[in-house]
Amino acid sequence: MSIKPVFVSTYPPRECGIATFTQDLVNAIEKYNDVRHCYVIALSKDKHLYDNRVLYDINQDKFSNYVKAANLINVADIDVVIIEHEYGIFGGEDGDYIVPFVKLIKKPIITTFHTVLKNPTAKQFEILKKLADASYKVITMAKTTKEILTDVYDIEEEKIEIVHHGVPYMDLEDKETLKRKYNLGGKRVISTFGLISPGKGLEYAIQAMDKVRKEFTDTVYLILGQTHPNIKRLKGEEYRDKLVNLVRELKLENNVIFVDKYLTKREIMEYLRLSDIYLTPYIGREQAVSGTLAYAIGSGKAIVSTPYTYAQEMLSDGRGMLVEFEDAHSIADAIITLLKDENLRKEIEKKTLEIGKEMYWHNVAKRMIDIFYDVVQLNKKVGVIA
């Protein structure tokens, strides 16, 4: 039996973390014989040229598009619908167009929650609760968020599956070769990658570099990635300009480098490989998952991070160093500790890679396919009873 899934998600070439996540997941799933082809209902604000997986392109702000998409799903040869949920990618208040959309769908639904808030607004609570009620299974990427789903949203435990955020595996050149390739030979490299927005806390990382470079003058901090398109649309390059000005004020031009481009997957993996330390100085305490942190774990990096929800869990048991929120001194002290103590850094890298291997996409894809089978069987049982 071959299962035919459709994913409702953002999708490349839209520049969005969930779009990349979905493409990576379907690529990995299609390598198994159980699923010969994955379909996608893509969400966007603009028109894009998609690959042949995309059945329909929803303009996220037009509700009539959701109705058309639901009708298409209902008549198509599809076994299961997987919704990649993030409040900001659906239309309406807090993305509430998703609620009537799932009511129109007559196929079994699985929902992956990319954001699980401990203190949601009434509207956010209602959306997540109704989505969970409409789903045979809900997927989260950490134990802590499973607890929030049961305690805050009262979702039954047997409905929830924990599946790691997937990460790619690539054969790459060694660290020093890659440093030379990117003109970073002889440097100690710290990096942060991803779409840039004020919630990333990069100003505190830059301030930390002022203290770090006094002890290690050869250290470079790479800020890798473009400004988030939604932020750019609303406020232009206001946040990036603020960061660039801060670098100038602190005379850190030799120690902080902006790579202002949307990186290919290979570039991301090469930059991670050449990094001595990976840093996530995020200021959002409730962040349930971070694709960038997952990638760094999959690459076996020594990681310094603020203790948002996902980082607390993934970096426990000595897999990284947690620092205070919005605290440049705390960030600097952790970086300096790791740069001074190579044995500690290597010990952290070893522990991180152990869990990182479990997160490779082929393992995540196999787990997802098992869940697809479970849901299809559950749906058949319900149909028989009905």
Indicate if 31 and 146 belong to the same structural domain. Answer: yes
CATH number reported for the structural domain that contains residue 59 in this entry: 3.40.50.2000
Distance, in Å, from the CA atom of 189 to the CA atom of 192, rounded to the nearest integer, reads 10
Indicate if 324 and 339 belong to the same structural domain. Answer: yes
Type of residue found at 65: N
Indicate if 140 and 266 belong to the same structural domain. Answer: no
State the pTM of this model: 0.86
pLDDT on residue 386:
40
Indicate if 253 and 378 belong to the same structural domain. Answer: no
Instruction: At 216, give phi and psi (nearest 5°).
Output: -130, 90
CB atoms within 10 A of CB 317: 10
pLDDT on residue 383:
63
Residue 217, Cβ density class (10 Å: 0-12 exposed, 13-18 middle, ≥19 buried) = exposed
pLDDT on residue 76:
96
DSSP E strand stretches across the chain: 5-9, 39-44, 54-59, 80-85, 109-113, 137-140, 160-162, 188-193, 219-224, 256-259, 277-280, 303-305, 321-322
Indicate if 193 and 84 belong to the same structural domain. Answer: no
- Residue 133 CB partners (closer than 8 Å, separation 6+): none
Low-confidence stretches of the chain (pLDDT < 50) are: 385-386
pLDDT on residue 207:
98
Indicate if 135 and 148 belong to the same structural domain. Answer: yes
CB 370 within 8 A of CB 137: no
- Tokens at residue 191, please? 């990096």
Which residues are bridge partners to 118 per DSSP? none
Closest alpha carbon to 5 in 271, 374, 386: 374
pLDDT on residue 374:
95
b/e string for 2-13 if b means 16 or more Cβ within 10 A? ebbbbbbbbbee
Domain around 316: 175-358
pLDDT on residue 230:
84
Instruction: At 223, give phi and psi (nearest 5°).
Output: -105, 105
Distance, in Å, from the CA atom of 364 to the CA atom of 22, rounded to the nearest integer, reads 12
Indicate if 159 and 251 belong to the same structural domain. Answer: no
Structural domain total, the chain: 2
b/e string for 331-350 if b means 16 or more Cβ within 10 A? bbbbbbebbeeeeebeebbe
Indicate if 16 and 105 belong to the same structural domain. Answer: yes
pLDDT on residue 381:
82
Distances (CA, A) of 266 to 270, 271, 361: 6, 9, 15
Indicate if 237 and 256 belong to the same structural domain. Answer: yes
Distance, in Å, from the CA atom of 199 to the CA atom of 128, rounded to the nearest integer, reads 22
Indicate if 121 and 217 belong to the same structural domain. Answer: no
Residue 270, Cβ density class (10 Å: 0-12 exposed, 13-18 middle, ≥19 buried) = buried
Indicate if 144 and 222 belong to the same structural domain. Answer: no
Indicate if 123 and 272 belong to the same structural domain. Answer: no
